[in-house]
Each structure stands twice: as C-alpha cells, then as structure tokens.
Amino acid sequence: MKERKGKNSGGSFGPDGNCICTKCNTKVPHQKGVKCTTVKCPNCGHTMVREELLNNKRK
Ligand SMILES: [Zn+2]
C-alpha cells in the first residue's frame, strides 16, 4: 500500500465544495467543519452528501 498523500484534518475532502441532495438535487455550499451527511436538504429534508462523492462514483 502506498502512503496517502496530504494531511487529513477530519474530512476526506477539502473545505470547499457543495453538498447535494440525492433526492431533489438541491445544492448548498458546504460548511467548514460540518459534514454534508449531517446536513438536511432545505428543500425536502433528505440527508445530503458531498458533491464530489457523486462525481467520484463515475470513473
Ligand atoms: Zn432534497
């Protein structure tokens, strides 16, 4: 196994980016220190995920 590059300060992604609702595709700016999975969609109340996570699924 190769060593992981970069420092891990609690999250897998950087401080920037969006959280996205998988249900209604609403995007909100990711808040520093707040996991997207703990954020509820303001539109439908569904749990949100990191936008990168969805993008990374397709490789
Ligand atoms: Zn939603």
Contact partners, residue 23, CB within 8 Å, separation at least 6: 41, 44, 46
Residue 30 in domain = yes
Residue 42 in domain = yes
Scanning the structure block, which residue is given the tokens 């936008």? 51
pLDDT in tens, 9-37: 445 555 678 999 999 999 999 988 889 99
Residue 9 in domain = no
Task: Tell me, in angstroms, the distance from the centre of ligand 1 to residue 47's CA.
Answer: 8
For the chain, the domain total comes to 1
Please, which pLDDT band fits residue 55 given cuts at 50, 70 and 90? confident
Judged against a pLDDT cut of 50, whether residue 58 lies above it is answered with: yes
Task: Tell me, in angstroms, the distance from the centre of ligand 1 to residue 14's CA.
Answer: 23
Task: Tell me, in angstroms, the distance from the centre of ligand 1 to residue 1's CA.
Answer: 38
Spatial separation of the C-alpha atoms in residues 17 and 35, rounded to whole Å: 11
Residue 24 in domain = yes
Judged against a pLDDT cut of 70, whether residue 57 lies above it is answered with: no
Q: In this predicted structure, what is the pLDDT of residue 26?
A: 96
Q: What residues does the ion ligand 1 have nearby, CB within 5 Å?
A: 21, 23-24, 26, 41, 43-44, 46
Expressed as residue numbers, the domain containing 44 is 18-57
Residue 5 in domain = no
Residue 4 in domain = no
Single pTM value for the model: 0.66
